[in-house]
Structure 1
Amino acid sequence: MRAPFEGRLMNTVCIDSRYIADRPSGIGEVVQGLIDFVPALAPDTHFVLLRNPRRRTPLCTADNVTEIIVPQAANGPSTMWWLPQAVDLSRIDLFHAPANIMPARLAMPCVTTIHDVMWLTNPAWCRSGTRGLIDRAFYSHGIRRALKSAAAITTVSAASAAEIARISPSAAARTFITPSGVSARFRPTPGSYERLASLGLPPSRRYVLTVGQYAPYKNHEGAIRAFALACADMPDIDLILVQRMGRRAQALLVLANELGLQGRVRLLQGVAMDDLIALYCNAQALLHPSFCEGFGNPLVEAMACGCPVVTSDVSAMPEVTGGAALTASPYDPSALGIQLRRTLTDARLADTMRQRGFARAARLNWQQFAAGHLEVYRRVLANA
Structure 2
Amino acid sequence: MRVLIPMVSGGAGPDGVGRHAINVVRCLLRLDEIKAVDLVVGRWQLSYVESLLGATDPRLKLLVAETGRSSPARNLWYYNRLPGLAKERRSSLIHVTYPVPLHQRGLPCPVVVTLHDLYPYDVAANFGYPKVLINRLILEQCLSAADAIACVSDSTLERLMIRRPALRGKSLRVYNCVEPHTACSLDVQESKPCRPFILAVSQHRHNKNLPLTLAVFHRLLRADPSLMLVLVGRQGPETSALKASLESSGLASSVIMLESISEDNLQWYYRNARCLLATSINEGFGLPVAEAMLAGCPVACSDIAAFREIGDGYCSFVSLGAAQEDGFVAAFHQMMKQPRPVPATMPQLSSGSIAGRYAQLYRGLLDATAQGVETALQFSRENGGAA
Shift of 1:133: 2.4
Residue of structure 2 equivalent to 1:274: 264
Equivalent residue letter for 2:168: A
| Residue number in structure 2 paired with 1:263 | 253
User: Would the aligned equivalents of 2:43 and 2:65 in 1 still touch at CA under 8 Å?
Assistant: yes
Q: 1: distance between equivalents of 2:133 and 2:354?
A: 30
Q: CA deviation at 1:200?
A: 5.2
CA distance in 2, matches of 1:200, 1:62: 34
Which deviates more from structure 2 when the two are superposed, residues 26-35 or residues 250-259? 250-259
From 311, 314, 332, the equivalent of 1:343 is 332
Structure 1 residues 67, 142: closer, same or farther in 2, change over 3 A?
same
Kindly state the Cα deviation for residue 165 of structure 1 after the two structures are TM-superposed. 0.6
Partner of 2:210: 220
CA distance 1:44–1:234, shift in 2 (3 Å): closer
Contact 2:43 2:64 in 1 (8 A): yes
Matched, 1:365 2:382: no
Q: Which residue of 1 aligns with 2:158?
A: 162
Q: Which residue of 1 aligns with 2:112?
A: 111
Contact kept, 8 Å, 1:13 with 1:96, in 2: the verdict is: yes
Pairing of 1:1-384 with structure 2 (within 5 A): 11-19=1-9, 22-43=12-33, 45-54=35-44, 55=46, 57=50, 61-72=56-67, 76-84=74-82, 87-89=85-87, 91-104=90-103, 105-124=106-125, 126-128=126-128, 133-134=130-131, 136-185=132-181, 189=184, 198-199=190-191, 201-202=193-194, 205-246=195-236, 249-256=239-246, 258-259=248-249, 261=251, 263-332=253-322, 334-349=323-338, 351=340, 354-355=341-342, 358-361=343-346, 363-384=348-369
Q: Call closer, same or farther: CA 1:212–1:89 in 2, change over 3 Å.
A: farther
Q: What is the one-letter code of the residue matched to 1:243?
A: G
Quickly say closer, same or farther: Cα 1:219–1:263, change in 2 above 3 A: same
Q: Distance in 1 between matches of 2:243 and 2:61?
A: 46
Percent of residue pairs identical = 22
Task: After TM superposition, give the deviation of residue 198 of structure 1 in Å.
Answer: 4.3
Cα deviation 1:213-269 (Å, max 9, x = unaligned):
111111111111122234422211122211212475253244345556463233222
Taking the aligned partners of 2:303 and 2:82, their CA distance within structure 1 comes to: 42
8 A Cα contact 1:304 1:361, kept in partner: yes
Q: Give the gaps of 5 or more residues in structure 2.
A: 370-387
Q: Distance in 2 between matches of 1:365 and 1:150?
A: 26
Q: Distance in 1 between matches of 2:348 and 2:109?
A: 34
Q: RMSD in angstroms over aligned alpha carbons?
A: 2.9
Structure 1 residues 270 and 121, CA gap change in structure 2 (3 angstroms): closer
8 A Cα contact 1:343 1:349, kept in partner: no
Unaligned runs of 5+ in 1: 1-10
Deviations 1:326-364 (A, max 9, x none): 1123445x435434443345545353xx22xx2244552
Query: Does the aligned pair in 2 maintain the 1:217–1:291 contact within 8 Å?
Result: yes
TM-score under structure 1 normalisation? 0.82
- 1:3 maps to what in 2? none
- With 278-287 and 140-149 compared, the bigger mean Cα shift is at 140-149
Aligned length: 358
Q: Residue by residue, what CA displacement relative to the aligned partner does 1:116-163 show, whole Å, maximum 9, x if unpaired?
A: 011123221x233xxx523x2333222112322321100110000001
* In 1, Cα distance between equivalents of 2:142 and 2:362: 16
Partner SS state of residue 198, structure 2: strand
TM-score (norm: length of structure 2): 0.82
